[in-house]
Amino acid sequence: MFIFTLFVISHYNTVQRIHPPVKHPIGGKVQTPKGEKNLTNRTPIHVHGPGPMRMVQEVDCQQIIEGNEDYIAHASEIMNNTMFSFLNDSQIEKIALNCDKFLNTFDYSRFIVSQIELDFPIAYSIITYKDVVQTEKLLRAIYRPHNVYRIHVDRSSSPSLHNAIKAISKCLSNVFVTSKLEDVIYKGYSRLKADLNCMTDLLNYSDVKWKYLINLPAQEYPLKTNSEIVKVLQILNGTNSIESYYDKASHYRTNQTYKENYKTSKLEPTGKIKAPAPHNVTVAKGSAYGTFSRSFVEFALRNPKAMDILKWTEDTLSPDETFWTTLVFNKELGAPGIQYLASGVPNRKSWITVGVMWQSKGPTREMAKIVSLQIKIPVRDNSIKHIDVADSRDRKESFSTNDSLILSKNVD
C-alpha cells in the first residue's frame, strides 16, 4: 500500500482567497488582519492564485492522481528516501503562543474556496492522544475558516500535548478543544464518549450551521480537497455514510459485561452475562468513523430510544463500533438519512466512508475514506467493487473504492 499526501485544488472560473478570523491569544477576542475582510462578514477577496505549498517538489502529483503505478512506485521511493524534520510538542506550543507567527509558520493565512464551499460548512470531530505535529497537519489539511472543528485530547495525555492543542485553538476562532475530556481506554465506552462530547459541543455551537459531521482519529489524513468533499456530501443529500452489518462472530462484544480499569488502562471482561439490548433491536457491527448528517447526530444524541441503546452499550466492548451501526441497522428506530433495501437491511452501497484493509504482516491497518469524484488513488483491495450512490432525486453519481478521501496508516 502506497501512502501519499496530495494537495489538489479544483479549478473554478472565480475562486475566493479568504483570511481566517483569528483569536487574540489572550482573552479570545476575534481579530482580522489589518486591511483584510473578516470571513464572518461574508466578503472574501476574489483573486486567482496557486494552491498550497508542497514539501516534495520533485514528485509529479498528477501522475499519482491518474494512477500511474510505475510512477507511484518511483514517488514512493523518493518519499522513503527523503528525510523530514518535524517540531516537537513544546516547540509547536511555543510558536502557537504567538498567533501571528503560528498562522504564518503553518500556512493558515489564506485559503482558496468557492461560494459553494462557503454555503456548505462541515463539522469535524478529531480524537487525539499523541503527536501534536500529526494532529496539526491533519487540522491544516482539512481546515477552512467557514467550517468548525472540535478536538478531543485524551485527559491522560502529556501536558505538552494539551498545552499545544489549547494554544492552537486560541489562534483560530472556529477550532475548539472539547468542553469535557475523557480518560480514554481502548475499546471502552470512554472512546465513544469522546466522540459524543465533540458532537454535543458541535450541535450546541450556533455560529456555524454545519450540514454534515465527519469524525476522525488524528492518524488519518485527507487526499481530497474541501471542494471535492462538499461535492460528494451534496450528492449524498442528507444520506449518512455509516457502515452497518450483522456479524454473529461479534457477539462476544455484547454477551457479557466489560469494565474499564483506570489503574491498568485496559478494558476487562467481568464474566457477567449481559442483558439483551433494549427495544428488541439487533446489535450491528461497523466502523467507529463515518459521515453523519446533522439530523442523524441530533437523533443519536436526543432520541429517547437512541439514549436507551447508548446507555446499554456502556459496559460492552468497543461500543464505538456498535452504537451508530445499531441505530442504522434497525429500521424501526426511524433514524434519519438511511437507505434500506426491500429486505429491511441498510443499503451497503451507501457505505462509502471508510474502507479497512488489514495487512498480511502484523496488525498495522490501512484506512481509506472512500469519498471522491474524479481523482484516482490505487487501493489494493480487489474484493471491493464499484459503488453507485443515488440521492432523493434519483440522480446518480459513480464512486469507486479507488477514489479515496482520506488515507491513513495507523502504526500502533
**Looking at the annotation, which residues are catalytic?**
321
| Separation CA 133–CA 91 (nearest Å) | 10
| Separation CA 224–CA 310 (nearest Å) | 33
Q: What is the 3-state secondary structure (H, E, C) of 31-97?
A: ECCCCCCCHHHCCCEECCCCCCCCCCCCCCHHHHHCCCHHHHHHHHHHHHCCCCCCCCHHHHHHHHC
CA neighbours within 13 Å on the CB side: how many for 319?
27
Neighbours of 161 (CB within 10 A): 21
Residue of 146, 155, 199, 209 lying closest to 173 (CA atoms): 146
Nearest 5°: phi and psi at 61?
-60, -30
Angle of helix 189-204 relative to helix 304-313, nearest 10 degrees, comes to 150
What's the DSSP call for residue 130? S
Helix (H) or strand (E) holding 294: helix 294-302
Q: For residue 291, what are the β-bridge partners?
A: 214, 241
Burial 247-261 (b: 16+ CB within 10 A, else e): eeebeebbebbbebe
CA neighbours within 13 Å on the CB side: how many for 129?
13
- The angle formed by the CA atoms of residues 49, 51 and 57, to the nearest 5 degrees, is 125
Instruction: Output the nine-digit C-alpha cell for 278.
Output: 433494549
